[in-house]
Amino acid sequence: MVKDEAKLRNKLRKISDALSKLFEIKRREKSDPLDILIATILSQNTNDLNSHKAFKNLKDKFPDFESLANADLREIERAIKVGGLARQKAKRIKNLLIELKKKHGGFDLSFLKDLSVEDGIKFLTSFKGVGLKTAGCVLLFGFDKEVFPVDTHIHRILNRVGIVKTKTPEETFFAVGKLIPDKLSYHLHTGLIKFGRAICKARDPLCGVCPIYKICEFEMKSFYKKKTKDVEVNKNSALEFILLDEV
């Protein structure tokens, strides 16, 4: 391992330790990976609370994957309307299930546990509407594999603190994957999401109450520290709610 990589790994460990102290980060029991895939599709371009409502509505209306795959698109749209982009997501979910059954004879992703992370991502991203983040979430939350999904919060934070210098979440995914310390993917992923919602916001970050201020390389941190030094961290249930822990 090169010296710079060792430093970055150590920095990531410090970040993970700090966020674990600040937020409640407990690993839940793993759910059906196909449920996780569908829930992650529903989470695209909306918040976790609305996507969770959409997922619950979908499961109540269609309790098994066979009935969902055979359902009329308009019925699926009505069930998931609360999550936004209902027409687009309904079509993706239905087509995914139909294609999965054609390829593997059923609605089961358990075979992914025996594949490498790279092969698992390659398989999942072969479906329309499934990108790197969605595929990574299925492997992390469904199989506890050492993969580190990157959303907009994580992309923003890792650039601010100086772990990477990238322009997109996809670039961050490939740049940071080899740097994540062993067994820290889940805690660091969920911790950074909560951190991005509550403190390291896109606008007006709360640098005055940031637990990793000293190791952060954000060039505007002194300005925002003065501006937010007396602000209290808002850790309400909506900010801490992680959809894939509740599927």
pLDDT in tens, 13-34: 999 999 999 988 877 777 899 9
- CB-based contact 229:208 (threshold 8 Å): yes
Quick one: pLDDT at residue 2? 42
- CB-based contact 25:219 (threshold 8 Å): no
Write out the DSSP string of 87-139. HHHHHHHHHHHHHHHHHHSSS--GGGGGS-HHHHHHHHTTSTT--HHHHHHHH
Q: What is the mean pLDDT of residues 92-105?
A: 95
Quick one: pLDDT at residue 1? 37
Helix and strand numbers (H, E) in the chain are: 13, 0
* pLDDT of 118 higher than 90: yes
Q: What is the mean pLDDT of residues 222-229?
A: 94
Quick one: pLDDT at residue 243? 82
Q: Which candidate, 118, 97, 115, 116, places its Cα nearest to that of 37?
A: 97
Please state, rounded to an integer, the average pLDDT across all residues of the chain: 93
Q: Distance from first CA to last CA of the chain, Å, rounded?
A: 37
* pLDDT of 3 higher than 60: no
Quick one: pLDDT at residue 244? 86
pLDDT in tens, 169-184: 999 999 999 899 989 9
- Kindly list the structural domains of the chain, giving each domain's residue range(s) and its CATH number in brackets, ordered by start: 3-26+148-242 (1.10.1670.10), 33-143 (1.10.340.30)
- 20-29, 102-111, 141-150: range with lowest mean pLDDT: 20-29
SS3 content of the chain, % helix, strand, coil (to 5): 65, 0, 35
Q: What is the mean pLDDT of residues 141-156?
A: 95
| Whole-angstrom distance, CA of residue 73 vs CA of residue 58 | 12
